[in-house]
Amino acid sequence: MTRILPLLLLLGWLPALAAEPSAVAPPVFDHQGRTLGPPLSERVTDYEIDARLEPATHGLTGQETITWRNRSAEPQATLWFHLYWNAFKNDRSTFYRDAKAMGGVRDENASSPSFPDRKADEWGYSDVKALRVKGGADLLPTLRFEHPDDDNTEDQTVFTVTLPEPVPPGGHVTLEVQWEARVPKVIARAGRSQSGFYLIGQWFPKLGVLEVPPERGATSPRWNCHQYHSASEFYADFGTYDVRVTVPKAMKVGATGVLVERRDNSDDTTTLRYHQDDVHDFAWTASEHFEVVEDVFRSPGLPEVGLTVLVDPKHHRSARHILESAKASLELYGRWWYPWPYPHLTLVAPPTDAIASGGMEYPTFVTAVGRENPGEPRDFIIWQTVAHEFGHNYWQGLLASNEFEESWLDEGVNSYGTYKLCFAEDVRASLEQFIPSPLRGLVGPLFDMNPDERERMRGMTSARESSPILQASWKYRNKGDYFRNSYSRTQVTLFALEQLVGEETMARIMRTYVERWKFRHPRSEDFFAVANEVSGQDLGWFFDTFFRGTGTLDYAVASLSCSERTEKKGLFDDGKGGHPLVEREPEGKSKDDAVNRCEVQVNRLGSVRVPVEVKVTFEDGSEQVERWDGEERWKQFAFERTGKGGVVQQVELSGITALDVNPANNSRTKGMSGHVAVSLFGWNTYVSQLLTTVASLLF
């Protein structure tokens, strides 16, 4: 999910790494979303769903046929399910209990006395009406709500059923489910708005994941099926989805996968059928007001991808930016990491009254943001949101990370990828674009700053980390803590890893990670192992320090002083055993022959110890680099050169300084205090830090 949305809500307006092109990549799927060759995934769970939306009542009725295969070596008699929309059933759910404790959720502030402020018909729910083995036993009497993460017996987002006969190892079972639901008012990642917009995500009874050894460290088969938390996303197995949705005929629909059939019904409704193999989720949207824009991505060596943009008419000028960002993402991510294999991508820009549903990802289906007057030539908000949400189609779409337990593997890795794309495309955070369009021309020149992604990252470090990156998403102290560690801190930490191993090695790490773990369920240790292998280094210290630890990295150039000596004082000999003599400067000696001695002190102010490079630049433009292991609290360096150009002009610390919590003290220029950060970094750094801090606090 994007981290840009809280900034939009705050401001009140809503709307070199590339490898050589590979040989031409043949299509992986046909035009009906079916795999042309062998399955790309194990296809543990297959869904056939038939759903009907009733806008008059915001009701959704559905029936599904689920086929589940037991991958484990042990019989399985109990099946675990998610029923996500019950998170919005009442204020006693774990979702709302977490939201209250963590400070709110997305666009809703928990400090409000009325939180959660919902009218009677704005709550949502899912109610299972029938559940049986196909052609066999009724399982509904065995349904039990579970709460594996907490003691909240009132939470109804996870349930189990017990089979009359266990599913044997390698066997399968087919279930038939009927359910009724009410679509909630837009909240977090799903819902409906006053304008008649619907985003239907996490909407059907869905199986959890049976993890089998050695997957994600499992030593015996275990069900992974967490409750719906306010600061978590999702985790599911790959399979095949064949879904029919019936809506009023006037509605325009977009969904995961490929539209393979459309049928107009006699009751003034339309049924649309979508299909997609080798995905782990399905989402869709519907509205009478969508403006539909179609296009195709084509690039030598990459599969062709059909593009559909659904945008509110007020934001129709955003469609071009959405398409351009999507094409750039398909191009660069496809060459950097892995050619995106699916034949179609749907991009949705929700209307203004549904902005809380923007910035979300599902397989082959993402929601972005739209604006009436996007910035030109590239709107930063739109470009970064599209690049970020589409990027999830790798780290969550292809790799199916467990976002409940290891959110950084999706959100953080994806934020790093978003930075790489925006930097490569020179997409800048022009502050003028953040000003509402009526005022843009008037006051925009006062904010004529457009930091690039590396400049923005300077504002992403925090003076103190209270939680590690590696932590279950619902266990963070508050939502700011969750978003900072899952998004920006991980992004900067991966950039620091790039600084440590080199850009090309980092590129190979990312490519290897995707190639090795696509259509599987990697965990943190799998990423770490790939990094060690590809880099040829034992990076355990790095991952222990920055992913599992909470220490502070802060190195500083404490002082720079230079003195000039035009004579020698004391007793000297010729170095060969000759007689001592007193050396004096010969009369008339040129100052060009003077000896310049500069002393530099660097300090370790934080608890984290890392190797540091101390680079000094002399007045004549030459440079010298000294290496310090960073272990002690301080280190003194002395530099002596003859001639007027031999004076040290600037001292800079480098290495993995991306994680330094105070970049303002990482350099010092002769005659200028190293603590005058404006002189060193300019206003861009501080504005970037302000924007990032506000986003992390309010998301």
Digit-coded pLDDT (tens) for 248-261: 999 999 999 999 99
Say if residue 670's pLDDT is above 90. Answer: no
> DSSP string spanning 79-103?
EEEE-GGGGGS-TTSHHHHHHHHHT
Give me the percent of the chain exceeding a pLDDT of 90: 71
User: In sequence order, which residues have a C-beta less than 8 Å from that of residue 384 and are 6 or more positions away?
Assistant: 2, 4, 418, 422, 427
pLDDT level of residue 58 (50, 70, 90 thresholds): very high
The stretches of 58-196 forming alpha helices (DSSP H) are 94-102
User: In sequence order, which residues have a C-beta less than 8 Å from that of residue 590 and are 6 or more positions away?
Assistant: none
Q: Which residue has the higher pLDDT, 126 or 189?
A: 126
Find, among 551, 547, 590, 548, the residue nearest to 567 by Cα.
590
Rounded Cα distance between 556 and 605, Å, is: 7
Rounded Cα distance between 245 and 230, Å, is: 28
Burial of residue 603 (CB within 10 Å: 0-12, 13-18, 19+) is middle
Residue 578: per-residue pLDDT: 64
> DSSP string spanning 564-630?
EE-S--SEE--SSS---EE--PPTT--GGGPEEEEEEEEEE-SS----EEEEEEETTS-EEEEEE--
The phi and psi torsions of 72 (rounded to 5 degrees) equal -85, 175
Residue 687: per-residue pLDDT: 45
Fold observed for domain 555-655: Immunoglobulin-like (2.60.40)
pLDDT level of residue 696 (50, 70, 90 thresholds): very low
Say if residue 672's pLDDT is above 70. Answer: no
Rounded Cα distance between 46 and 373, Å, is: 43
Residue 686: per-residue pLDDT: 40
User: In sequence order, which residues have a C-beta less than 8 Å from that of residue 478 and are 6 or more positions away?
Assistant: 101, 102, 103
Query: Which residues partner with 240 through β-bridges?
Result: 277
Rounded Cα distance between 44 and 39, Å, is: 11
Boundaries of every domain in the chain? 1-24+290-550+678-699, 41-280, 555-655
* CA-derived radius of gyration, the chain: 29
The phi and psi torsions of 328 (rounded to 5 degrees) equal -65, -40
3-state secondary structure string, 633-657?
CEEEEEEEEECHHHCEEEEEEEECH
Rounded Cα distance between 245 and 272, Å, is: 5
- Supply the mean pLDDT for the chain: 87
Mapping DSSP to helix (H, G, I), strand (E, B) and coil, where does residue 20 land? coil
Residue 474: per-residue pLDDT: 93
CATH class label, 41-280? mainly beta
Give mean pLDDT, residues 52-56: 97
Residue 689: per-residue pLDDT: 42
The CATH number of the domain covering residues in 1-24+290-550+678-699: 1.10.390.10
pLDDT level of residue 436 (50, 70, 90 thresholds): low
Per-residue pLDDT of 64-88, as tens digits, reads 999 999 999 999 999 999 999 999 9
Rounded Cα distance between 166 and 76, Å, is: 5
Burial of residue 197 (CB within 10 Å: 0-12, 13-18, 19+) is buried
Per-residue pLDDT of 447-468, as tens digits, reads 455 565 666 666 566 655 679 9
Residue 567: per-residue pLDDT: 61
Q: In which order are the strands placed within the sheet that holds 172-182?
A: 125-133, 172-182, 59-69, 45-54, 239-248, 269-279, 258-264
> 1-24+290-550+678-699 and 41-280: same fold?
no
Per-residue pLDDT of 199-213, as tens digits, reads 999 999 999 999 999
> Residue 572 to residues 357, 579, 581, 589, 642: CA-CA distances in angstroms?
79, 8, 6, 19, 19
Rounded Cα distance between 197 and 220, Å, is: 44
Q: Which residue has the higher pLDDT, 625 or 446?
A: 625
Per-residue pLDDT of 130-150, as tens digits, reads 999 999 999 999 999 999 999
Q: Which two tokens stand for residue 184?
A: 């909630």
User: In sequence order, which residues have a C-beta less than 8 Å from that of residue 359 and are 6 or more positions away?
Assistant: 1, 2, 4, 5, 367, 368, 369, 385, 388, 389
Can you state the angle between helices 503-517 and 318-336, rounded to 10 degrees?
90
The phi and psi torsions of 233 (rounded to 5 degrees) equal -120, -130
String of b and e for 665-697 (b: at least 16 CB within 10 Å)? Answer: bbbbbeeeebeebeebbeebbbbbbebbbebbb
Find, among 78, 102, 330, 98, the residue nearest to 210 by Cα.
78
pTM: 0.87
Rounded Cα distance between 418 and 26, Å, is: 26
String of b and e for 524-538 (b: at least 16 CB within 10 Å)? Answer: bebbbebbbebbeee
The C-alpha angle with vertex 566 and arms to 563 and 567, in degrees rounded to 5, equals 115
Give mean pLDDT, residues 302-317: 96
Say if residue 223's pLDDT is above 80. Answer: yes
> Residue 579 to residues 52, 83, 575, 576, 585: CA-CA distances in angstroms?
105, 94, 9, 9, 19
> DSSP string spanning 469-520?
SSS-GGGSSSHHHHHIIIIIHHHHHHHHHHHHH-HHHHHHHHHHHHHHHTTS
pLDDT level of residue 515 (50, 70, 90 thresholds): very high
Give mean pLDDT, residues 643-667: 87
Per-residue pLDDT of 527-574, as tens digits, reads 999 999 999 999 999 999 999 999 889 999 999 999 887 666 666 677
Q: What single-letter DSSP state applies at residue 195?
A: T
Residue 564: per-residue pLDDT: 80
Give mean pLDDT, residues 678-695: 41
Residue 153: per-residue pLDDT: 96
Rounded Cα distance between 395 and 365, Å, is: 14
Q: What single-letter DSSP state applies at residue 694?
A: H
Residue 678: per-residue pLDDT: 36
Residue 685: per-residue pLDDT: 41
Mapping DSSP to helix (H, G, I), strand (E, B) and coil, where does residue 668 land? strand
Find, among 642, 647, 641, 648, the residue nearest to 602 by Cα.
648
Say if residue 398's pLDDT is above 90. Answer: yes
String of b and e for 216-227 (b: at least 16 CB within 10 Å)? Answer: bebeebebbbbb
